[in-house]
Amino acid sequence: MDSLMNNVSKYTIIAIAGALALSACNKFLDTMPDNRTELDTEEKIASILVSAYSDRDYSTTAVFMSDDFDNNAAVVTATPDRFFTQLWEWQDVTETNNASPQNLWSANWGAIACANQALAGIESMGGPSKSQALAYAYGEALLCRAFAHFILVNMFCMNYNKQTSDTDLGIPYMEAPEEGLNPAYERGNVADVYEKIDRDIQEGLKYVPDTYEVAPKYHFTRQAANAFAAKFYLFYEKPELSLKYANDCLGTIPTLRDYADLQANYNTIATARRAYANSDNKCNLLIETGYTALARYWLAAYGGQYKYYGYTQNIATTEGYLSPKPWHTGAFSLADLVWRPHNYTSSNLRFSILWKADYEFEYTDPVAGRGYTRFVYVPLTTDETLLVRAEAYTLLKQYEKACDDLNLWANNYYVADVSMTPETITNYYSGLNYYTWDSPTQKKHLHPSFDIDAEGSVQESMLQLILNFRRTEKWGDGDRWFDIKRYGIEIYRRVVDESGKVIDYTDVLKVDDLRRAVQVPQRCIDAGLEPNPRTTND
């Protein structure tokens, strides 16, 4: 793990009532909130903001629920972990795991509570105008609060859309520390949550600094904040604003990931994953850590239950990073990529593995060998922001500019000299069959709630390519699940044989399937929080 993170000591506040209210839902501390440590110095404010970033990632839940994993039940005799099965089958998760939805829920509310404590402390000290340090902390706290709510609403609610979000269940939006015992929480609606995230982003951007003296990549700098804003407004169906903030983030010449350097100098699991998540990379805008074994799910040699579900070579070649493209109509080989993932092949298993997730084992009991896997991941990068901008350009029908960004991304990822035009992209996708479960392609029917042009149009064809590039760029990060929700993409639960060929499917997630919203934790439901409906009659 990056040594810079270890240099930042965490400040523990005695009572964070809001975090406990939403992680335990029906239980606060036995002492009143007045017993909490007072945040009365700039140093204390800065310290608590270290904890305003969630220590649980959304990636595990989102990856397993997406179309990036197939089922190897036909060839694997090992019994799968029930937690992974519940995720893969879109069940309401009852099993515990560091990366479970329950822990994701709790960790983000804990981050929000820390942000709110910092904001309250800043106000008690005279507000952000009192000093530059308080101003910077004020902006960071608002962005942390917005980001945690953004993850929660996109995981535990239906996706934002202008048609139904004013009635779709949202999440509570916590704007202040809790001061009482056993408060009642109303979920509100998705539209309200997005409106408040919008407000926090706008206010936070007024104050957030360009950089920090210590561990800047573990904080919201201005560039990271602009990347988050660009992504948020794309989800908010406001491509004009998304384009503005993407431009603010990327500048005139975007600095993308140096895949050639990764391939040339970091060709082992340990070196590649550390190099990918390194804070010295200018493309890495925000780095976070979390307690999860996700990195191990994506690394050789797929022991035990990890063999049961996986990103198969069949997915890679038919709809993933090796699938045909407008400039290369056959399947790619690994040699066609600047940075080459690892193909794991045995007598009956064929997986593709990407060495991008850094992790370290944190011992709680060294003698017994017990502890946690701590995962280092990169939720915001310039490479993703470039594709966000390409999508915004496409939605605004500025196709030539979108092509410029797509060519820039492709030439950084693939070996060939790529020079696509809107016409070549449209011609290619017009001739490609739409995906079926037994004859998969990268081209899937799109059913967004917002208007796009008809199938076969320039706009739809370019969106198909963008979604494919995004699936490749964000492979293993979980964002493919968000794109599935945003574009109403139907996905199947498929079973593969020993050659990786799909032989059957067991379920399909339809466009308006209510399982697209992860169920809120049962303990919160038991305490009175309204659950997500599971049938149209709920």
How does residue 298 score in pLDDT terms, banded at 50, 70 and 90? low
Check pLDDT > 50 for residue 33: no
User: What is the mean pLDDT of the segment spanning 366-387?
Assistant: 90
Check pLDDT > 70 for residue 25: no
| pLDDT at res. 537 | 54
| pLDDT at res. 372 | 79
**DSSP, res 273:** H
Specify the pTM.
0.92
| pLDDT at res. 387 | 98
Check pLDDT > 50 for residue 24: no
Check pLDDT > 90 for residue 178: no
d(CA 365, CA 28): 29
Task: Characterize the bridge pairing of strands 358-365 and 342-345.
Answer: unpaired
| pLDDT at res. 306 | 62
| pLDDT at res. 73 | 79
Query: Dihedral sign, CA of 528, 530, 533, 536?
Result: positive
Beta strands in 252-369 (DSSP E): 284-291, 309-310, 342-345, 350-353, 358-365
Check pLDDT > 90 for residue 39: no
Residue the block writes with tokens 């917002």: 450
- Helix residue spans in 8-41 (DSSP H): 17-23
Residue among 493, 477, 489, 537 nearest 91 (CA): 493
Check pLDDT > 60 for residue 383: yes
Check pLDDT > 90 for residue 17: no
d(CA 501, CA 216): 45
Q: What is the pLDDT of residues 50-75, one digit of tens each?
A: 999 999 989 989 999 999 999 987 78
Residue among 40, 238, 247, 242 nearest 134 (CA): 40
**Burial letters 156-171, b for 16+ CB under 10 A, else e:** bbbbbbeeebeebbbb
Q: What is the pLDDT of residues 398-412, one digit of tens each?
A: 999 999 999 999 999
Cis-peptide, bond into residue 301, ω within 30° of zero: yes
Q: What is the mean pLDDT of the chain?
A: 88
How does residue 26 score in pLDDT terms, banded at 50, 70 and 90? very low
Token reading at 399: 């196709």
Residues contacting residue 537 through CB under 8 Å, at least 6 positions apart? none
What is the secondary structure of 222-238 as a DSSP string?
Answer: HHHHHHHHHHHHHHTT-
User: What is the mean pLDDT of the segment spanning 343-353?
Assistant: 77
Q: Write the burial class of residue 337 (CB in 10 Å: 0-12 exposed, 13-18 middle, 19+ buried).
A: middle
Check pLDDT > 80 for residue 84: yes
| pLDDT at res. 350 | 80
